[in-house]
Chains A and B, each alone.
Chain A
Amino acid sequence: MTVTENYALVEEAKRNEQAAQTIIEPSRGWVPLNLRELWQYRELLYFLTWRDVKVRYKQTALGAMWAIIQPFMTMVVFSLFFGRLAQVPSDGIPYPIFSYAALVPWTFFANGMSASANSLVGSQNLIKKVYFPRLVIPISTVFSGIIDFALAFIVLMGLMLYYGIMPTANIIWLPLLLLLAFITSLGVGLWLSAMNVEFRDIRYMVPFLVQFWMFATPIAYPSSLIENPVLRAIYGINPMTGVTEGFRWALLGTDTAPGAIVLVSALAAVVLFVSGLYYFRRMEKSFADVV
């Protein structure tokens, strides 16, 4: 960091301090999101994400290998049972890479969702002792999954190389599809984590939810099994449908042009995400008292 940059930061901090005036009152009903405050706490967001990443594979023998083993072994099992035995179609693509291309974003989504659902309860010592926008907790939890995603993604590239599949030009859409998975994961995570504060039932519910959701998403099978294009678009109400089909389309060039599906998925994800934000903010005031 240069001296002038540093100086600018100090100046900014001074301005913030002068403006600081806090009014503490009871809030009623729905609360504004106050994203500006969240932005002021971006460094905390960074540090909590960094902590999660650092700590995740401490004292494990295989370490970060786990990020790859999870989706990879699932792919092996799927290839054996669905690909070989059940002869599930795979849009003309070798089944292993067909399922793995969907498992990579799915694992990111599923791990982010279950980790963030338990994140508030897991951070109760923080919640009871320090103030900061509580949104930081589930957001940083989902963020920290990006590293795992990146590792699994490298293996995906290797597999594509092995099968001689070149990614299509549509690969430029991949970041947006990842964002879609992120928003969905966080959206569900926000709902579940806020509920989990009061109802620890959520903790037992999440594994089921992940399992059901996995089979409701075209991972082991293609969405082209649904032939009616309108029905297929409706299938996109499950936002992960758009994500997994989108990944296959962008990387492997499957021809189930995912336009309508992705649009419906994006819409569903935004609804889930925004409603999750508001629900979370509404419940936030009681977290420290109830958790």
Chain B
Amino acid sequence: MSDVAIRVEGLGKEYRIGARAEKYKTFRDSLTGMIGAPVQRIRNLVRGQRLATDRDESFWALKDISFEVQRGEVVGIIGRNGAGKSTLLKILSRITEPTVGRAMIYGRVGALLEVGTGFHPELTGRENIYLNAAILGMKRYEIDRKFDEIVAFAEIDKFIDTAVKHYSSGMGLRLGFAVAAHLEPEILIVDEVLAVGDAAFQQKCLGKMSDVAGEGRTVLFVSHNMTAVSNLCTSTVLLQSGKLVMNGPTHDVINFYTSALRTQTSTELHDRQDRNGNGAARFTKITLKNAQHKETDAILCGESFDIELDYESMGKTSLTNVSVSVIITNSLGDNLVCLWDQASNGGSLNVNLSKQGTLVCHINSMQLMPGNYFLTLNMTQGKQSADKIEYAAILSVIDNDFFGSGKLPPAHTGNFLMPNSWSYLTNRE
């Protein structure tokens, strides 16, 4: 038997994103369209074709992906939202078919795209363990053998015969993960299911994951969390807009990824295409200003500064019920600080904005340790996201005499600086 566990050759997946809105010219056209379309649909249906009319737009979620995973390797898959990570996992776990190319998998596969798939709220914990395990592909004798372990891992032994609908959400997640963690396939495919539950349980899950990795099984691990990827994975695949950009040792790929982010931030906001939201309004420019109101991209520790966001509304009218936030993340993608107008300016704000303008966030004191950080911009209108840009700008924090002592704590001892003072109380003798 060869040592390859997964071989992917020229894999691609095309999605249709539905028909564009048609403009009927005359009433007659629209009438024939109304009658003609269902007839066409039924004809397609009977022929067993999907709704593929020439009006459909399509896009390639994945294109020309090739790579190999050796037996026993733990491989991470990273990339931004919409890079095609989930599509790749769905193809490899056979949930959906590729449009072109092929993949060969040597060994029994277990795929975990969600925790607690198929749980039925009316059934008890015990019953759901059997159901969920069967859905994930476990045999009955395997479930019988591992049942006690699963219950112990989930820490729900008292509630094992209670209907799952009475569980807290945390208990449900724990039970789901416990079942999944006891899958014993040769090849494990995991989506970001670890991003659930409380911190202690997440640690436990990560521990279980590294156990699995240590047992010499092949693991494919998709995540946003660079820390988890760099801890678990020996090599990593980087995807970007459906294409494989880099495949190599995890350390190199993550470095490349974070430096690629840096070049990305140099693109003018106005021209950025990789944004989410309904586009009712867009950020067009971001400016950092230091305490002297000079434009800069580097802020001193302890200094006050402003983040200025230019925006324009796409609609004809002004914007109502708007809320804005800026999230500061580190290069691994961990969120550090959220500057949210609703929180800092007070509760039930109903901000209305003119068609075009500038939003200014003033920060009294830079309390991050020196280093490079990224800004994610967010604008919502009502409950809908209007615009969201991840890694919109880089924020450099420069050494400065934060404490007035001429010293800062050494690098990598923390993320934040907090004003503090020490007293030395000695016992009287």
Docked Cα-Cα span, A130 to B109, in Å, equals 11
0/1 string, A39-62, CB within 8 A of B gives 1? 000011011100100110011000
Q: Which of A232-291 contact B (CB under 8 A)?
A: 279, 282-283, 285-286, 288-290
Residues of B with C-beta under 8 A to A73: none
State whether the Cβ of A126 lies closer than 8 Å to any Cβ in chain B: yes
Q: Which positions 105-150 of chain B face chain A at CB distance < 8 Å?
A: 105-109, 111, 113-114, 117-118, 120, 122-123, 127, 130-131, 134-137, 139-142
Give the docked Cα–Cα distance between A199 and B91 (Å).
24
| In the assembled complex, B20 has its CB within 8 A of some CB on chain A | no
Q: Is B59 an interface residue (CB 8 A)?
A: no
Known contacts A132-B137, A288-B90, A198 near B102 by CB under 8 Å: no
Contact A20/B107 with A27-B97, A43-B139, A129-B114 known, Cβ cut-off 8 Å: yes
* Chain B, residue nearest A59 (CB): B122
Across the interface, B117 reaches (CB within 8 A) one of A1, A46, A125, namely A125
Q: Given that A17-B108, A132-B137 are contacting pairs, would A24 and B117 also be in contact in the complex, using a CB cutoff of 8 Å?
A: no
Q: Which residue of B lies closest to A9 (CB)?
A: B141
Q: Which residues on the B side are within 8 Å of A34 (C-beta)?
A: none
Contact B15 A51 (CB under 8 A): no
The one of B51, B101, B105 that contacts A22, using a Cβ cutoff of 8 Å: B105
User: Would A289 and B96 be within 8 Å (CB), given that A24-B102, A47-B130, A132-B135 are in contact?
Assistant: yes
* Pairwise interchain contact B97-A26, C-beta atoms closer than 8 A: yes
A contact residues around B285 at 8 Å (CB): none
B 328-353 binary contact with A (CB < 8 Å = 1; else 0): 00000000000000000000000000
Cα distance, A128 to B137, chains bound together (Å):
15
* Of the residues A24, A128, A132, A199, contact of B105 by C-beta under 8 Å: A24
Query: Can you report 10 residue pairs joining A to B where beta carbons are below 8 Å apart?
Result: A13-B139, A13-B142, A44-B137, A47-B130, A47-B131, A127-B95, A130-B95, A130-B117, A131-B93, A285-B96
Map CB proximity to B onto A67-111 as digits: 1 under 8 Å, 0 otherwise: 000000000000000000000000000000000000000000000
Residue in contact with B122 in the complex, picked from A10, A25, A58, CB distance below 8 Å: A58
Question: Closest approach, in angstroms, between the C-beta of B90 and any C-beta of chain A?
Answer: 7
Query: Are A129 and B127 in contact (CB-based, < 8 A)?
Result: no
Question: By CB atoms of chain B within 10 A, which of A1, A6, A129 has the most?
Answer: A129
Chain A interface secondary structure, helix, strand, loop or mixed? helix
Hey, which chain B residues are within 8 Å of A127, CB to CB?
95
**Closest chain B residue, CB of each to CB of A50:** B131
Closest chain A CB from B31 CB (angstroms): 20
* Residue of B whose beta carbon sits closest to that of A20: B108
Interface flags, B76-112, vs A, CB<8A=1, else 0: 0000000000000011111111111111111111010
* A23 close to chain B: CB less than 8 A: yes
Contacts of B122 in A (CB 8 A): 54-55, 58-59
Chain A residues near B (Cβ < 8 Å) = 1, 6, 9-10, 13, 16-17, 20-27, 43-44, 46-48, 51, 54-55, 58-59, 125-132, 195, 198-199, 279, 282-283, 285-286, 288-290
Contact of A22 with B109 in the complex, beta carbons under 8 Å: yes
B28 at the interface (CB under 8 A from A): no
Please give the distance in Å from A1's CB to the nearest CB on chain B: 7
Tell which of B108, B111, B120, B186 touches A131, judged by Cβ atoms closer than 8 Å: B111
New contact pairs (15) apart from A17-B186, A285-B96, CB-CB < 8 Å:
A17-B108, A24-B102, A26-B101, A43-B139, A48-B131, A51-B131, A54-B123, A55-B122, A127-B95, A129-B117, A131-B95, A198-B45, A199-B45, A285-B97, A288-B95
Contact of A54 with B127 in the complex, beta carbons under 8 Å: yes
A129 touches B95 (CB 8 A): yes
Query: A130 vs B132: C-alpha distance in the bound complex, in angstroms?
Result: 11
A279–B46 alpha-carbon span in the complex (Å): 9
Report which of A22, A25, A59, A130 forms a contact with B135, defined as CB distance below 8 A: A130
| Distance in angstroms between the alpha carbons of A127 and B95 in the assembled complex | 7
Given known A9-B141, A43-B134, A130-B135, contact A20–B106 (CB-CB < 8 A): yes
List of 8 A-B pairs having minimum Cβ-Cβ separation, nearest first? A131-B94, A25-B102, A47-B134, A24-B103, A22-B105, A285-B97, A288-B96, A58-B122
Is B41 part of the contact surface with A, judged by Cβ < 8 Å? yes
Q: Kindly report which residue of chain B lies nearest to residue A22, judged by CB atoms.
A: B105
Q: What's the least CB distance linking A205 to chain B, in Å?
A: 12
Residues of the A chain whose Cβ atoms lie less than 8 Å from the Cβ of B105: 21-24
Smallest distance from the beta carbon of A258 to chain B beta carbons, Å?
32
B140 and A43 contact, CB distance less than 8 A: yes
- Given the known interface contacts A26-B99, A47-B130, A195-B45, the answer about A130 and B51 at a Cβ–Cβ threshold of 8 Å is no
Q: Which residues of A contact B111 (CB under 8 A)?
A: 130-131
Residues of A contacting B135 with CB < 8 Å? 44, 47, 126, 130, 132
